[in-house]
Amino acid sequence: MSRTYRLPIGLLTAIMLLAPAAEAGKIYRWVDAEGNVHLSDRVPTEHARSARSELSETGREVERVQAAKTAEEIAREQELEKLRAEQQRLIEIQHAKDQVLLRTFRTEDDLLMARNGKLAAIDSNIQVIRSNIRRMKNRLAEMQQNAASMERQGQRLSDNLLKDIENTRAQLRDSYTTIIQKEQEKEAIRNSASKDLARFRSLKNLREENADPQLNQEKTASLLDTVVVCEDDRACDQAWIKVEEYVRKFATTRLQMLSDSIIMSAAPLKDDDISLTASRIVYKDRPGAELFMDLQCKPSPRGIDLCNTEAVEKIRTGFRDYLAESKRVQSAN
């Protein structure tokens, strides 16, 4: 019959060394939850999952069995293994990106030139869109004048004319949506280039003494500076009233279009003309919209100079402040 002994640790080795060889067999040693040391030739069922050691005839440890893991410990180890695997995957992805970065660019200037080339291409695209907008505004003005003349003469407006007017309005809305998307692309390019440049310097052990000034200066002006977000239809309707006020206040050309999605003054005809267009670009996947205000001057030398004046810049930057102030007043009331 097997017995379990709980003895002081100092006596255990001495007892085993004095035990007759004929009586020697497998001896197991373990410690219970209370810290008591046990010696026995058999491990009781209640301690079968505990950590234990098998001792030789001389008391030397010949084998060690770890404690059986609990369900919680197993779950934690599995989760840890997943995290380690994901970490390794991210390391491999970053290593691959680093290799592409180093193969693509030899110097910081190469990286900055690539970024500037992408920005210039988008700016060129935006200029084309804005030129098309001016042409569409002029074409819409002609069609509206024709329609007004026909109505004064008691003539029925043709379906083609009405369709052309509506199509032009839709094209204008789409054009302003595209401008916002292009400006967002520029922001993404700048952010990506900034991260790539920082990583490139780290990989090359370069200092920032030759940093690109544009990356360290304050953010340059962007058409996105006039974008205001409204969270739901009610907020957008209230803001749209203030948008109309703003366009009427600062546009020097006559109001050409007024609807729930676009408010537009006519294209600039004189050097000192300021044309404003505001569009309400509704989100497709959630409530709310982006309210975007665009300012245009006549594409003439004097008109371009006008658009670069501080007074005109205040009109651009004031749009967002005007709507924000109106929102604060409404909240206070």
Chain segment 288-312, per-residue pLDDT in tens: 999 999 999 999 999 999 999 999 9
At residue 4 the predicted structure's pLDDT band, cuts being 50, 70 and 90, is very low
| Mean pLDDT confidence for 101-118 | 94
Q: Which two tokens stand for residue 148?
A: 């007004």
Higher pLDDT, 3 or 298: 298
Same domain membership, residue 54 and residue 83: no
Same domain membership, residue 77 and residue 177: no
Whether 200 shows a pLDDT value over 50: the answer reads yes
Exposed, middle or buried, 131 (CB in 10 Å: 0-12/13-18/19+)?
Answer: exposed
Same domain membership, residue 116 and residue 100: no
Q: Which of 72-76, 182-186, 201-205, 253-257 has the lowest mean pLDDT?
A: 72-76
Give 167's Cβ-side CA count (13 Å radius).
8
Same domain membership, residue 89 and residue 58: no
pLDDT confidence of residue 92: 92
Alpha carbons 52 and 38: distance in angstroms, whole number: 9
CB 165 within 8 A of CB 142: no
Side chain identity at residue 3, one-letter code:
R
Range of the domain at 43: 5-65
Whether 19 shows a pLDDT value over 50: the answer reads no
Same domain membership, residue 206 and residue 119: yes
Whether 195 shows a pLDDT value over 80: the answer reads yes
Same domain membership, residue 248 and residue 198: no
pLDDT confidence of residue 58: 64
Same domain membership, residue 145 and residue 76: no
pLDDT confidence of residue 2: 43
* Tens-place pLDDT, residues 130-167: 999 999 999 999 999 999 999 999 899 899 999 999 99
pLDDT confidence of residue 37: 78
Whether 72 shows a pLDDT value over 90: the answer reads no
Same domain membership, residue 47 and residue 83: no
Task: Determine the distance from the C-alpha atom of residue 72 to the mean position of all C-alpha atoms in its chain, rounded to a whole number.
Answer: 36
Same domain membership, residue 74 and residue 58: no
Higher pLDDT, 120 or 72: 120
Same domain membership, residue 113 and residue 48: no
Q: Which two tokens stand for residue 127?
A: 């200029």
Higher pLDDT, 315 or 219: 315
- β-bridge partners, 38: 6, 30
- CATH of residue 263's domain is 3.30.310
Whether 3 shows a pLDDT value over 90: the answer reads no
Which one of 216, 232, 254 terminates a domain? 216
* Tens-place pLDDT, residues 166-179: 999 999 999 999 99
Which one of 51, 85, 104 terminates a domain? 104
Q: Count the domains in the chain.
A: 4
Whether 51 shows a pLDDT value over 80: the answer reads no
pLDDT confidence of residue 204: 87
CB 297 within 8 A of CB 268: yes
pLDDT confidence of residue 48: 65
Whether 219 shows a pLDDT value over 60: the answer reads no
pLDDT confidence of residue 1: 40
- Sheet containing 61-65: give its strands across: 5-6, 37-40, 27-31, 52-55, 61-65
Whether 18 shows a pLDDT value over 60: the answer reads no
Whether 253 shows a pLDDT value over 70: the answer reads yes
pLDDT confidence of residue 236: 93
Same domain membership, residue 324 and residue 251: yes
Alpha carbons 181 and 23: distance in angstroms, whole number: 87
Return the percentage of the chain with pLDDT > 90, whole number.
48
Q: What is the mean pLDDT of the chain?
A: 82
Q: Which of 65-74, 146-155, 236-245 has the lowest mean pLDDT?
A: 65-74
Same domain membership, residue 10 and residue 28: yes
3-state SS class at 258: strand
* Tens-place pLDDT, residues 315-332: 999 999 999 876 654 444
Q: Which of 38-47, 228-237, 297-306 has the lowest mean pLDDT?
A: 38-47
